[in-house]
Amino acid sequence: MFTGIVVDIGRVAAVEDLADDSRRLRIASDVVAPQAKPGESISVNGVCLTVVDPHAEEFGADVMKETLERSSLGALRPGDPVNLEPAMAVGDRFGGHLVSGHVDGRARVTERVDSENWRLLTLRIEPARLHKYLAEKGSVTLDGVSLTVADVGDDWFTVSLIPTTLAETTLGDAVVGQSVNVEVDMLARYVERMLEHR
């Protein structure tokens, strides 16, 4: 389980193709790698991955075919920046919202408005069936970053990025046309499920 509070922007050090159309990512991070242990979970751009073969300055993580297809991890190349967050430990501060690291789909940036101290992104979620889980002032996770939905339209939603988010996550470099990983608020999913079985 994660909170959507990114602790470091790591870099993809290497990408290795494995059997069964899976892939191993090697990710460099001075902050996360030194504490990474085999079998631990780390969120990489919002995707929960298991640490393999960790070293002092980088760690490995295997990505299955389904995850490569559902998320943006399949497009990663050496040198690309990634948002990193180790799994939440008992007693940790809970600053974002509950994030599982199970990506639901992607969202494409359709508009970007810059202000002096913030940025407003307009996005369209894919697949469209996920749009019903978005609510104004509700939570959404984009590339592993816990955000508040600012506004929702028929087929779009907006998020506001504060200076800290712009400086300390990869969303600071988001451009129109870019695709980001999306995890909708799990509480919305549970509420829907309960209402279906009343």
- With DSSP H G I counted as helix, E B as strand and the rest as coil, what are the percentages for the chain, rounded to 5? 20, 40, 35
- Kindly report the pTM of this predicted structure: 0.93
For residue 125, how many C-alpha atoms fall within 13 Å in the half-sphere facing its CB? Answer: 28
The residue among 71, 94, 64, 40 whose CA lies nearest residue 142 is 71
Alpha helices in the chain (DSSP H): 65-70, 163-168, 186-196
Taking all residues of the chain, what is their mean pLDDT, rounded to a whole number? Answer: 93
Give me the tens of pLDDT residue by residue for the chain, a chain 198 residues long: 899 999 999 999 999 999 889 999 999 999 999 999 999 999 999 999 999 999 999 999 999 999 999 999 999 999 999 999 999 877 677 677 788 999 999 999 999 999 988 999 999 999 999 999 999 999 999 999 999 999 999 999 999 999 999 999 999 999 999 999 999 987 777 777 777 777
What topology is assigned to 8-86 in CATH?
Elongation Factor Tu (Ef-tu); domain 3 (2.40.30)
- Measured distance CA(189)–CA(52) in Å, rounded: 31
For tokens 């970053």, name the residue: 145
Domain 105-196, CATH = 2.40.30.20
In this structure, the chain runs to a length of 198
Q: Which residues, listed in sequence order, are joined to residue 160 by a DSSP beta bridge?
A: 120
Interval 143-195: pLDDT, tens: 999 999 999 999 999 999 999 999 999 999 999 999 999 999 877 777 777 77
Domain parsing of the chain, residue ranges? 8-86, 105-196
